[in-house]
Amino acid sequence: MTTMVNRKTLDCISKEFIRTEDFEKLKYSLGGIMYTPAHNSKISDFLIRKKYPHLRSLAICLEDAIADGSEKEAMLNLQKNFDELSDAVDAGIISAEKLPYIFVRVKYHKQMEQVYSLIKKPELLTGFIFPKFDIHNAQIFLKSLSDINQSADNIIYAMPILESTVVSDIRNRIFVLSEIKTMLKKKKKYILNIRIGGND
């Protein structure tokens, strides 16, 4: 079978990636998101070397990729990688505009402020990913997001993931999704995408 690819698509694929701050463009520019554990010590290295030249978005995971009891080490390693990226930008080794969008997948809402306070160049952080987002944790996640944005120079976005049994339970799904929609609409300017998870 032959697949036809038009010239416009080829131009888009081959064009060098440059970050955008335009919300309407940004939410459609993420591409496939690469996930990596926060324990990965080589995050800054492969980003600076552009090991994956077409990578548009990276998620650094502090949730299910991190073993119980190792959160402190993961946070320290995350800080180290962001410090190395900041130093590379300051030294002119790489332009911040050419780095992929970087998200941190947190385990719980308090990690958001902890992560944000560790990053000396916050503009390198695009936002947070909220796992198992549902009516029980939505308000506290969104409150923490708003609090960070009150003091941030750049907008810090969020991408909630709908993946819990609260959402998947067919008996209450319409009500739950309606409630989630209402809560997210109030913070619409911070919500890039709503993602669907299938593992849980």
Query: Would you say 128 and 84 are in contact if contact means Cβ atoms under 8 Å apart?
Result: no
Query: Would you say 129 and 161 are in contact if contact means Cβ atoms under 8 Å apart?
Result: yes
pLDDT tens digit sequence for 88-140: 999 999 999 999 999 999 999 999 999 999 998 999 999 999 999 999 999 99
Question: In the prediction, which pLDDT does 152 show?
Answer: 87
Residue 178, C-beta contacts closer than 8 angstroms, at least 6 positions apart: none
pLDDT tens digit sequence for 28-41: 999 999 999 999 99
Question: In the prediction, which pLDDT does 169 show?
Answer: 85
pLDDT tens digit sequence for 143-170: 999 999 998 889 999 999 999 888 888 8
Rounded to whole angstroms, how far apart are CA atoms 200 and 20?
32
Residue 196, C-beta contacts closer than 8 angstroms, at least 6 positions apart: 161, 162, 163
Question: In the prediction, which pLDDT does 18 show?
Answer: 75
pLDDT tens digit sequence for 62-80: 998 888 889 999 999 999 9
Count of CA atoms in the C-beta half-sphere (13 A) of 199: 6
